[in-house]
Amino acid sequence: MTSYSRQDVLRILQISSRQLLGWEKAGLIPVQQTYTFQDLGQLRTLRALREESVSAASIRHSIVAMKSVAGMTNPLVEATLVRTGTRLAFRCQGAMVDPIRRQLLFDFERCESQEAAPLRRPGMPGAAATQELFYAAVQAEEAGEKNRAIALYEQILARDPGYAPAYINLGTLYFHLRRYTRAEELYRRATETDPQYVLAFFDLGNVLDELDRPEESIAAYQRAVALSPRYSDAHYNLALAYERKGEGRSALRHWEAYVKLDRSGPWADHARGQIRRLLDREKLTIAWRKDGVVPSCKQASGLAVVTRAGAPKP
């Protein structure tokens, strides 16, 4: 097998030694002195993602999630990391997986690159049949054939009651039809089927918000954030939910978390605006602790000043 030195890699990929070292320090690739052709493929993927301004932290988080979801040792070798919109996914075993949301995605590139194959009939055994039905249901959704998509998802769940992505997609169809009670039922089934399914809790929070059940909505979003602390959309919606309850300080924490994860774009701009508004409205101050001394804090905001030991001062 042909091997390449570090200098070969830098020359072939047109990257700097600092870039390579940075990827190693970020835990995206192992430190090594020689590389295989397969290693070059991984590095090309990383280079392309970084050129698209995908952060090293986002890439690493997706890799870690994929290891957990699929039991892979090295997802960059065992699967193909691709960008899908604003998110990262992996192609593996003929499927597209979003490991953070634990969601099976529809792989348009895969379908476009292959001749259309006849849909196998529901009578055929195994997970492959369910996956084909899932692809067909997603295609029906994309074509605007909602009734057909609903029927296919129902068929999937009749065959395999543990297929959580079908609960999610079917729930979302009912959500958009404003059948919120049915959507809630399906999202809850998804959380019961897979208690680690981040998207199920996020979507459950959305429908509970529509049903004007803020406490339950917040609990669902909190679960999504607990499962995936870097799930920016969950932080955003959680901040909105806290604001609607009048809990500005809780909202502030999640607005700040959001802008750390999504630094640009209209949603980030809105989050920064909310942070400024809350800081101004609540008259919050940031106390920098030094040598155990905590500067005085205005009490009008209703915030307690906390000592280093953690005991609140009146």
Structural domain spans, the chain: 1-51, 285-314
Alpha carbon distance 167, 43 (integer Å): 36
pLDDT of residue 114: 37
Q: Of the spans 142-146, 229-233, 234-238, 295-299, which averages the highest pLDDT?
A: 234-238
Alpha carbon distance 285, 280 (integer Å): 10
| 266-309 residue pLDDT tens | 778 888 999 998 888 766 444 433 344 333 333 333 322 222 23
pLDDT of residue 213: 94
Residues forming beta bridges with residue 204, ordered by sequence position: none
pLDDT of residue 106: 61
Q: Helix, strand, or coil here: 228?
A: coil
2 backbone dihedrals φ, ψ, rounded to 5°: -65, 135
More confident call, 43 vs 208:
208
> Is residue 25 over pLDDT 70?
yes
pLDDT of residue 227: 86
Alpha carbon distance 282, 162 (integer Å): 47
More confident call, 83 vs 115:
83
Name the token pair of 268. Answer: 């980030």
pLDDT of residue 85: 67
pLDDT of residue 189: 95
The answer to whether residues 13 and 37 touch, using CB atoms and an 8 Å cutoff, is no
Which residues, in sequence order, are CB contacts of 130 under 8 Å at separation 6+? 156, 159, 160, 163
Alpha carbon distance 179, 181 (integer Å): 6
pLDDT of residue 238: 94
Split at pLDDT 50, 70, 90, the class of 255 is: very high
Model pTM above 0.75: no
- The helix (H) or strand (E) run that includes residue 104 is strand 103-105
